[in-house]
Chain A
Amino acid sequence: MKLKTFTGGIHPPDNKQWSSHKAIENCPLPAEFIVPLAQHIGAPSVACVEVGQHVAKGQEIGSAKGFVSVPVHAPTSGEIVAVESRPHPWGTALPAVVIKPDGEDRWSAELQPADPSDLSVDDMVEKVRQAGVVGMGGAAFPAHVKMSPPPEKKIRTLIFNGVECEPYLTADHRMMLEEPERILRGVALLQYVFGAERVVIGVEANKPDVIDLLEKECAGTPVEIMALQVKYPQGAEKQLIAAVTGGEVPSGGLPMDIGVAVHNVATAAAVTDAVIHGRPLIERICTVTGPAIREPKNLRIRIGTPLSHLVDVCGGLVEEPGKIILGGPMMGFTQLGFDVPSTRGTSGLLLLRSEDVAAQPEGPCIRCARCVQACPIHLLPATIAAYARRDLLAETEEYCAMDCIECGSCSYVCPAAIPLVQAIRYGKAAILAKKRNS
């Protein structure tokens, strides 16, 4: 049987062999945690602790500001040593709470497990919000917002994203393999919250062990495991929906417009922790990998662990890395140094050597149309990029630049090494700025 997928997309070498066979290890506590207050899409949280104060593990240290915002919690027990701006994965210095662990790693007494059968849907959403659960795939959109669709948008299909289409990353893979019950309990909770009729876990066919295991675990439950063709960017929300249901999210719309919601499998696990155990989101699985690290590993890290600590835990560097990427090579954020902390969206730390990122000088576009074939949104990337570079914003917009999901497929396939995504992003930003000003 031909596996389902979407149209367009690319097949980069997946490079998961570095870490896909490594069991998850618990990362030891670092000497210092840097917990950024802005870790999610939406308003950053506001520090609610003071320097010198002693906090317990799981205690709220930053409170949410507004609906599209979540609180931030202490990753371990210890003393607040600073509340100040620190280098952030987004490229600039942003406010963060710095904690010196006391080594006891003592949970806050306020956090109590609950029996989900006693809870209403609203209680569950509130627990998820309080726990600071965000989308764990990388975008870090607050989960409670996604879990509260307007009543007229009925969610019929609930899709769980176990695709992990980014090369190198294996965090979700290992989690699905080692902690299926944690994920599946979250799946059941979310199905209850949404009242969805159909529940699908989408997994790419390069993880046959996961597909076998989950099919066994889900036998007799309404949860459907769907093996998908290996292709990037299958993990992008709209592409996953197209692959699983065949439906297209309308341009400028949200999945709920066609009755679908998508959550990452790691988010489901975090929902389990939040609702059943009452525990906030203070740790996640992160793949530390790449040719420049001595010993690639899948680590269970606390949020706020500095990247330098992750490098130490993985045996140090083989050589000075040419590029430090938080997340995968396609959509991850390049970092300036190891002094930034990991956040809730940190699915991986990828260290490439200089020779892996050797840049080719840009050449002229010869209209080979590889970007057109690769674009999962069916745009004309080279055309949009050319318009954007000339600041022809009306044309840029007419060619649907705003629909671009910035997956990087076009830049990846471009034989002339034209920075297509950067040009399109530049155009998108200019269009948005123009709209704000008018």
Chain B
Amino acid sequence: MLASILSLGGIGLFAAVTLGFAAKKFAVEVDPREMAALEVLPGANCGACGFPGCAGYAKALVAGTIDLNQCPPGGADVVTKLAHILGVEASATARQIAVVLCQGDNRKAQLKYRYLGLEDCTAAQRIADGPKTCPGGCLGLGSCQRICPFDAIEMTADGLAVISRENCTGCRKCVAVCPRDVIHMTPYESGVHVLCNSHDKGAVVRKYCQVGCIGCNICKKTVPDSYKIENFLAEVIYEQDTEAGEAIAKCPTKCIMDFNVGYPDGSSYLPAVADKPHAA
């Protein structure tokens, strides 16, 4: 009994001493700033910064080879913290979020054919340019939803991707994966968007979509500074969109929307700033 206690204790002691010695002797020097930077980064390893994961970005930050504002998911908050850790001046960046510029779900926009293949927008796009007649509309097969690291995208029952203003961190993964380029990066402050991505002429758009932009110029006439029309498609000029909301009521196809007031139909995302308090 005593022998076994002694021998086991001895082995334990020896191992402890050896490990302790090794930890001191062979310790790898890590810049404490790197650890601190890693602490404040979001830790989603989304790759938006261009490095393999947050650790890689932290390392580059400490090495001073990259700007502080390369982490869109972290936003301004993280930039301030990083600036504090690294002892440099923080350059303010406006928060950018992704928006699906389309409201044409399977009820409102016409389908060219019934698609039965892989649940993937890129695969569907390869078959006669996708099942939607509209060349720019959301295909609704959810490739962006699956790739989003922050669960910020939901698919409505009628097949439309909707991105939450609050959950989107601006990592741009959805922008890269969308085969129809219907997801655009916009300033977080701007809630008003023209939700259409079709450059077809108005008469053509009307044939396949109830809620497409027909390039009628009414919004531009109402608020000349806030809108531009290119190739039969209106777009909000985000730098000067303070008055853009005034055109919403005048849009004949109801394709302008203020996300501060509401999201497209079928989305369960609540308005970011509600007019009246919502239950739960």
Classify A-B as touching or not with yes or no (CB < 8 A): yes
Interface size on A, residues (CB 8 A): 13
Q: Is A423 an interface residue (CB 8 A)?
A: yes
Q: How far is the CA of A422 from the CA of B127 in the complex (A)?
A: 10
Complex interface: chain B residues within 8 A of A426 (CB): 118, 120, 122-123, 126
Residue of A90, A336, A419, A422 ringed by the most chain B CB atoms within 10 A:
A422
Q: How far is the CA of A429 from the CA of B117 in the complex (A)?
A: 16
Question: Which of these, A90, A336, A359, A423, contacts B118 with CB under 8 Å?
Answer: A423
Indicate with 1 or 0, residue by residue over A58-95, a CB within 8 angstroms of chain B CB atoms.
00000000000000000000000000000000111000
Q: 8 Å CB contacts to B: which residues of A234-286?
A: none
Residue of A90, A336, A419 near B112 (CB, 8 A) is A336
Question: Which interface class (under 10, 10 to 19, 20 to 34, 35 or more) fits B?
Answer: 10 to 19
Footprint of B on A, CB under 8 Å? Answer: 90-92, 334, 336, 359, 389, 419, 422-423, 425-426, 429
User: Any chain A CB within 8 A of the CB of B129?
Assistant: yes
Known: A92-B128, A429-B126. A336 touches B117 (CB 8 A): no
Decide if A92 touches B118 in the complex (CB within 8 Å): no
13 contacts between A and B (CB under 8 A): A91-B129, A92-B128, A334-B113, A336-B113, A389-B118, A419-B117, A422-B117, A422-B118, A422-B127, A425-B126, A426-B118, A426-B126, A429-B126
Complex Cα spacing A322 to B113, Å: 10
Q: Which residues of B contact A91 (CB under 8 A)?
A: 127-129
Name the CB-closest residue of B to A426. B123
**Bound complex: CA of A429 vs CA of B127, how far in Å?**
12
Q: How far, in angstroms, from A429 to B120 measured CA to CA in the complex?
A: 14
Question: Which one of B112, B126, B128, B129 has the greatest number of beta carbons of chain A within 10 Å?
Answer: B128
Within 8 A of A (CB), among B118-152: 118, 120, 122-123, 126-129
> B residues within 8 A CB of A422?
117-118, 123, 127
Write out the residue numbers on chain B whose beta carbons fall within 8 Å of the beta carbon of A359. 116
Interchain CA distance A419-B129 in the complex, whole Å: 18
Interface residues in chain B, defined as those with a beta carbon under 8 Å from any beta carbon in chain A: 112-113, 116-118, 120, 122-123, 126-129
Contacts of A425 in B (CB 8 A): 126
Complex-state Cα separation, A425 to B126, whole angstroms? 10
Residues of A within 8 A of B116 (CB): 359, 419
A421: nearest chain-B partner, CB-CB: B117
Find out whether the CB atom of A419 lies under 8 angstroms from the CB atom of B118.
yes
* Chain B residues, Cβ within 8 Å of A423: 118, 123
> For A429, what are the chain B residues with a Cβ–Cβ distance below 8 Å?
126
Known: A419-B118, A426-B120, A429-B126. 11 other contacts (CB 8 A): A91-B127, A92-B128, A334-B113, A336-B112, A336-B128, A359-B116, A389-B120, A422-B117, A422-B123, A423-B118, A425-B126
**Complex Cα distance A359/B117, Å?**
10
8 smallest A-B Cβ distances: which pairs?
Answer: A91-B128, A422-B117, A426-B123, A419-B117, A359-B116, A422-B118, A419-B118, A336-B112
Looking at the assembled complex, report how far the CB atom of B207 sits from the nearest CB atom of chain A, in whole angstroms.
Answer: 14
Question: How far is it, in angstroms, between the C-alpha of A286 and the C-alpha of B127 when the chains are bound?
Answer: 24
CB distance from A263 to the nearest CB of B (A): 30
Q: Inside 8 A of B123's CB, which chain A residues have their CB? A: 422-423, 426
Q: B173 CB to closest chain A CB, in angstroms?
A: 13
Note all chain B residues with C-beta closer than 8 A to A389.
Answer: 118, 120
Enumerate chain A residues within 8 angstroms of B117, measured Cβ to Cβ: 419, 422
Q: How far is the CA of A91 from the CA of B116 in the complex (A)?
A: 16
Alpha-carbon distance between A426 and B124 when the two chains are bound, in angstroms: 9
Smallest Cβ-Cβ distance to A322: which chain B residue: B114
Within the complex, the shortest CB–CB distance from B172 to chain A, in Å, comes to 17
